[in-house]
Structure formats: structure tokens, C-alpha cells
Amino acid sequence: MPAACPSCGLDLRREQGYYVGAMYLNYGVTATVLLAVGIPLADRVPMSTLTWPLAGFALLFPLWFFRYSRSLWLGLDLYFSSLAPK
């Protein structure tokens, strides 16, 4: 990720541990997608056939989605901090 937003100049470097919530968000989205796909297919597809595609997804999707989860986490923080009384 760049150090600052190219359009508005917002500093994206936060204190240590700030983006831990983004990891939880990433895990939650990955687990939700795996369950939403795996549970309905468990009755129709043999488990030996279903395991490898879901395992590949569980390994590759979080790597791809992490940048988006960080952006979403930062956006949620900015939104809720703007609602806080000053």
C-alpha cells in the first residue's frame, strides 16, 4: 500500500497493530465464502473432490483480498470516527 492516498493525501501509515482488524475482516469474508459454497455442495459433490478447490481458495483468496480488507477497515474507521462526538 502507498504511504498516502494519491487523491486526498490521507496518511495511510497507522500505529502498530492498527490493521489487525483488517486481518479479522479478511478471515471472516474468506470463512463466509467457504461456508456458503462448501455447505450446499457437501451433499452433491464427493468430499475428496471438494476439498482441493476449497483449500486452494482458502489459501489464495486471503492473499488477493488483504489489500481490499485494509482499505475497507480504514474506511470503516474513518466513517465511525467522523460520527463520534468531539
Within-domain flag for 40: no
Cell of 52: 482441493
Provide the 10 A C-beta neighbour count for residue 41: 14
Residue 35 pLDDT > 80: yes
Within-domain flag for 63: yes
**How many domains does the chain fold into?**
1
Within-domain flag for 43: no
pLDDT digits (tens, 9 = 90+) for 47-64: 999 999 999 999 999 999
Q: What is the pLDDT of residue 11?
A: 79
Task: Please indicate whether residue 4 or residue 62 has the higher confidence score (pLDDT).
Answer: 62
DSSP one-letter code for 38: H
Within-domain flag for 65: yes
Within-domain flag for 61: yes
pLDDT digits (tens, 9 = 90+) for 16-31: 888 899 999 999 999 9
Q: How sure is the predictor about 86, in pLDDT bands with cuts at 50, 70 and 90?
A: low
Within-domain flag for 64: yes
**Rg of the chain taking only CA atoms, in angstroms:** 17
Q: What is the pLDDT of residue 78?
A: 85
Within-domain flag for 59: yes
Provide the residue range defining the domain that includes 56. 49-76
